[in-house]
Amino acid sequence: MPEIVISEFMDEAAVDRLRERHDILYDPDLVDQPDALRDALKTAKALIVRNRTKISRELLADLSSLACVGRLGVGLDNIDLDACKAKDITVYPATGANDVAVAEYVVTAALTLLRGAYNRSSDIAAGRWPRMEMMGGEIAGKRLGLIGYGAIARKVAARAQSFGCEIAAFDPFLPEGDAAWQSAERLDLQALLRSSDVISLHVPLTETTRHLIGADAVKAMKPSAILINTARGGVVDEAALVEALRAGQLGGAALDVFESEPLDREAGARFEGVPNLILTPHIAGVTKEANVRVSSVTADNVLNHLASLSQ
């Protein structure tokens, strides 16, 4: 029986490194087979997941040997942390390993949506020449508003500053005297919404942040503003966002995360035909390079924890 179960995709080199020291079950399809996952975990000491595997109190209830969970990423809303703590199961996020990937995604999405020149190749190939229609804007001189100003948001800020952006942020949990504020103007949420040209979300999904960007928040934003969400889908009220985009009350949006994941045809129907909208399948933090880093960090965390059990 496996000592380590991996229920979602992981870099093969990291999987091989785990396999050298432990019996493992690596099956990225386990995430969609809850009964098989539960059976596989009966004797496992470690479980490695991404964001889709739900580690619930019910899943953990009958597990007596599980000692740690390695998270291939940083968000922990798919893991019942209280249930893990109650069973003395240590949870290891891959903190920092995919920060660069997310930061590059945010800046790229902002540039793409502001310029508006990259989605009409078929028109050009067909002999149309819509130069005036495709005349977009520049990011230089724009204000980037960051909701949440942790490690990833700061990397976004550094990259955006190199393009000539002014940086503002809202983060009630970051003390006013923190050195991070030297590179960003500290604003309350309403002031940030009203004044920003691009708004990027960097907060976890909690009861406080659920639908933080709803109809009222969207109305407070500039009609030309761009919204980018690489955090968690529930932070944005998708219905309110779609309504604003269809009505021309918002300049554009990029969504990498959704209220329901994976997004199925029924849930995705609301986005059909919405203008200036980029949709991606929760891959902002998943590049080839980030996958290697995240997998390596997670393998190290799990191997070190299992080694400590035998000391």
Q: How confident is the model at residue 19 (pLDDT cuts 50, 70, 90)?
A: very high
> In this predicted structure, what is the pLDDT of residue 310?
80
Residue 307 has pLDDT above 90, yes or no: yes
Report the DSSP pairing between strands 143-147 and 198-201.
parallel
Question: How much is the average pLDDT of 91-115?
Answer: 97
**Mean pLDDT on 66-94:** 96
Give residue 170's pLDDT band: very low, low, confident or very high (50, 70, 90): very high
What are the tens digits of pLDDT across the range 113-130? 999 999 889 999 999 999
Q: Which residues contact 73 (CB under 8 A, 6 or more apart)?
A: 50, 51, 93, 94, 98, 285, 294
49 in Cβ contact with 55 (< 8 Å) = yes
Going from the C-alpha of 256 to that of each of 56, 60, 180, 231, 263, the distances in angstroms are 24, 29, 26, 8, 11
- Catalytic positions are 232, 261, 282
- Tens of pLDDT, residue by residue over 207-216, are 999 999 999 9
Strands (E), 64-139: 68-71, 90-93
CA distances from 14 to 20, 50, 74, 174, 202 (A): 10, 14, 18, 35, 28
Of residues 49, 42, 50, 6, the one with CA closest to residue 24: 6
Q: Would the pLDDT of 299 be above 90?
A: yes
Tell me the mean pLDDT in the region 18-42.
96
Q: Is pLDDT at 311 greater than 80 in this prediction?
A: no
The residues near 199 (Cβ < 8 Å, ≥ 6 apart) are 144, 145, 146, 147, 192, 193, 221, 225, 226, 227, 228
Q: Report pLDDT for 62.
A: 87
How is residue 161 annotated by DSSP? H
Q: Calculate what percentage of the chain has a pLDDT beyond 90.
A: 97
